[in-house]
Structures are given as structure tokens and as C-alpha cells.
Structure 1
Amino acid sequence: MNYPFSHIGIPTTDDKNWDGYYEAGRIHFTDFSKDEFLVEWVKFDPDSPMPEMMRTIPHVAYRVEDMEEALRDREILVETFSPGEGVRVAFIIHNGSPVEFMEIKES
């Protein structure tokens, strides 16, 4: 595995200047690329269907070229979904913590 680091995501209950909202997951998020330390803040609505681990434990995220290959033989926390055009993400459990894989197709 040689996946480039993308960002760290930190769950919060505080209000921030949200850059986006993923309706299916009921997740508010900031744009990590605007943060000098690549921090993405995430806030989950009370009725979010996302797993408790994702809602309460920070995650690290890596860019992957092939999502299916990256997920092979991994413990899946959240199946692959698309929060925006050209982007697919999935979460795995690694040593008891969430890890995000991001596949971005440049247009």
C-alpha cells in the first residue's frame, strides 16, 4: 500500500462555516483543502445513518486510484458512496479506528 495522505477528519458538535452537506449521510463538512493542516471538520445530524465510530472518532483519509482494490480484504465500516461528482469514498476499520479512502476522477 502506498496511498497518499489526503486529510484528517474530526467530528464536532460545534457549528462551523460549513462548505458542504452530504444529505444522504446527513453530514455537514468543511473543505479540508482550505485548511493549512488539511483538517476537515464534520458534524452529523442527530438522525444521521452513519455508524457511531464514524460520528465519534477522528479519521485519516488517503487517496486511492482503485477503490475496489483498496477495499479488498478490508473490514468495511461504510460502503462506497459519492458525496460529489467525480468523488467516491468508503470507510474501513483499521486497528479500531475509521480510515477513509477517496477515489477522485479528474475531469
Structure 2
Amino acid sequence: MNYEFSHIGIPTTEEKAWDGFYEPGKIHYTAFDKDEYNIEWVKFDTDSPMPELIRTIPHVAYFVDNMEDALQGKDILVDTFSPGEGVRVAFIKHNGAPVEFMEIKDA
């Protein structure tokens, strides 16, 4: 499996210049690809259904070629979902920390 670094996501309770909001997860986020260090800030609404681990611990994210292969045998924290067209995301728990996998398909 090839893991290519994408970004680091840092939970915050502070207000930022949010680039988007993912309604099902109730997550506000900044665009990591606009940050020189690939940092994504994430803020969760109080009623967010996301696991506490993701809401409180920074995560590292990797691009993967095939989500199903990447998740094989892993401790899945959040099953695969699509936050936008052509993008699939899932979170695993690795040594007590959240790790995000992102699969990008060209339209």
C-alpha cells in the first residue's frame, strides 16, 4: 500500500476563516491545500456525531489509491464517506491516534 502525505488536521474550539462545513459530521474546516504547511483546522459543533478521538486529537491524513485495500485489517474509527464529489474519506485508529485516508477520483 502506498501512503502519500496529504495534511495534518488539528481540532480547535476557536473561530477561523472557515472554507467549508460538512453537514453530516457537523464539521467546520479550513482548506489544507491553501496552507503552506498543509494544516487543516477543524471545529466540531457540540452535536457532531464524530468520535471523541477525532474531535480532540490531531490526525494525519494520507492519500490512498484504493480505500478498500487501505482499510483491510485496520481498526476503523469512521467508515468511508464522501465529503465532496470524487472524494472518499475514512478514519482509522492507529496506536491510539486517528489517521485519515483520502481517495481522490478524477471526474
3-state SS of paired residue (2:54): helix
Residues in 1 aligned to 2:41 and 2:106: alpha-carbon distance in whole angstroms: 24
Residues in 2 aligned to 1:88 and 1:47: alpha-carbon distance in whole angstroms: 23
Which residue does the alignment assign to 1:104?
104
Structure 2 contact 2–65 (Cα < 8 Å) conserved: no
Residues in 2 aligned to 1:17 and 1:85: alpha-carbon distance in whole angstroms: 23
Percent of aligned pairs with the same amino acid: 73
Which residue does the alignment assign to 2:56?
56
What TM-score results when the alignment is normalised by the length of structure 2?
0.98
2:33 corresponds to 1:2 = no
Residues in 1 aligned to 2:76 and 2:2: alpha-carbon distance in whole angstroms: 19
> For 1:11-90, what aligned pairs fall within 5 Å after superposition?
11-90=11-90
Any unmatched runs of 5+ in structure 2?
A: none
Residues in 2 aligned to 1:42 and 1:85: alpha-carbon distance in whole angstroms: 20
3-state SS of paired residue (1:2): coil
Any unmatched runs of 5+ in structure 1?
A: none
**Aligned pairs, number:** 107
What TM-score results when the alignment is normalised by the length of structure 1?
0.98
**4+ long deviations beyond 3 Å:** none
What value does the CA root-mean-square deviation take over the aligned residues?
A: 0.5
